[in-house]
Amino acid sequence: MKLLILGGSGFVGRALAGEAVARGYDVTVFNRGLRGAPAGVRVLTGDRQAADGLTALQIDQSWDLVVDTWAAGAGAVGRTARLLSGRARHYTYVSSRSVYRWGTPAPLTEDAPLADPREPGYAGDKVRGELAAASFGGPLLLARAGLILGPLEDIGRLPWWLHRLARGGPTLAPGPRILPLQYIDVRDLAIFLLDAASAGLTGPYNVVSEPGHATMGELLEAGVAVTGGRAKLRWTDPAVIQRYGIQAWTQLPIWLPPGPDHDFLHRGDVAKALGAGLRCRPVYDTVADTWAWLQGLRGEPPRRTDRDAVGLDPVLEAKVLAGEP
């Protein structure tokens, strides 16, 4: 199986490359060459936003499968999809559940209304990306991934929590403890993408675990266990957190308080993907393997420069735990 990964050096792309190489695929990655390439792949270098940036892909070569991990403007998706039209059997665009119109009642199926393609920002980019990928003109899978966690994470959500828990002591834990989470381990995403593409699946799929695959309590308690048991979780009511002006999702990564926003992100319908073979590993495995990866790094973990930093200031955390005004 000949696979072309558009990307391949970041979070999803690197996990995808590792899974494909382990399967014995002939893997080519195409990216700017700013980060080291995964082991066992062939590298083509180019910048999808530059006028002549696709030159390396204009070689006389074809692939069985193409997976496009591009996360920015849709113009790059359209140019690459058109260039590869007729030169690959199947094209996968890694989209996002952010494509759905914000505020649509949960659970969101693949038929739920989409955001306006004219909308600025990430949601609009992904809707436009899906439309642009259609210019491939052949079998197209739209993998609408949810919250992605696991080893190699370059946004910093789970790594921030693990480093905080490793410091130990009283730790602000955003409640309720039984708050259900819906996410996907990047390795399970990679497995699904390759299986689905190889099977020729087309159309949109919500690629994320079942709602309640884990809870906030199970996630953080696993983190306490793998980081040495030094942290003492102090479960804190969402109203208290909001009173201090703490931002959900960014200052307290992964967490959203109960309500419409939480339901939008964590109550998606995944029956279609489960029927197509999606399987998700236990939360403990995701947490433990992410911590093992972090411990094995030399220096700081990778960080995407197009995303804001995440995490809570220790001074503010201590203030909340002490009940200071």
Provide the pLDDT for residue 307.
76
Q: Residue 88: which CATH number? A: 3.40.50.720
Q: In this predicted structure, what is the pLDDT of residue 33? A: 85
Helix H, strand E, coil C: the string for the chain is CEEEEECCCCHHHHHHHHHHHHCCCEEEEEECCCCCCCCCCEEEECCCCCCCCCHHHHCCCCEEEEEECCCCCHHHHHHHHHHHCCCEEEEEEEEEHHHECCCCCCCCCCCCCECCCCCCCHHHHHHHHHHHHHHHCCCEEEEEECEEECCCCCCCHHHHHHHHHHHCEEEEEECCCCCEECEEEHHHHHHHHHHHHHCCCCEEEEECCCCCCEEHHHHHHHHHHHCCCCEEEEEECHHHHHHCCCCEECCEECCCCCCHHHHHHHCCCCHHHHHCCCCCCCHHHHHHHHHHHHHHCCCCCCCCCCCCCCCCCHHHHHHHHHCCC
In a domain, 6, yes or no: yes
Which pLDDT does position 308 carry in this prediction? 80
User: Are 45 and 138 contained in the same domain?
Assistant: yes
Looking at 118, 145, 172, the residue that finishes a domain is: 145
Number of folded domains in the chain?
2
Same domain, 59 and 160: no
Q: Please give the pLDDT value at position 84.
A: 96
Residues 132 and 171 in one domain: no
Q: pLDDT per residue over 186-205, tens digit each? A: 999 999 999 999 999 999 99
Check whether residue 122 and residue 66 sit in a common domain.
yes
Kindly state whether residue 166 falls inside one of the protein's structural domains: yes
Q: If the chain, 325 residues long, is cut into consecutive pieces of 10 residues, what is the mean pLDDT of each piece?
A: 94 97 97 88 93 90 95 91 96 96 90 94 94 97 97 95 98 98 98 98 98 97 98 98 97 96 94 98 98 91 79 97 88
pLDDT of residue 91: 98
Residue 221 domain boundaries = 154-182+211-268+283-322
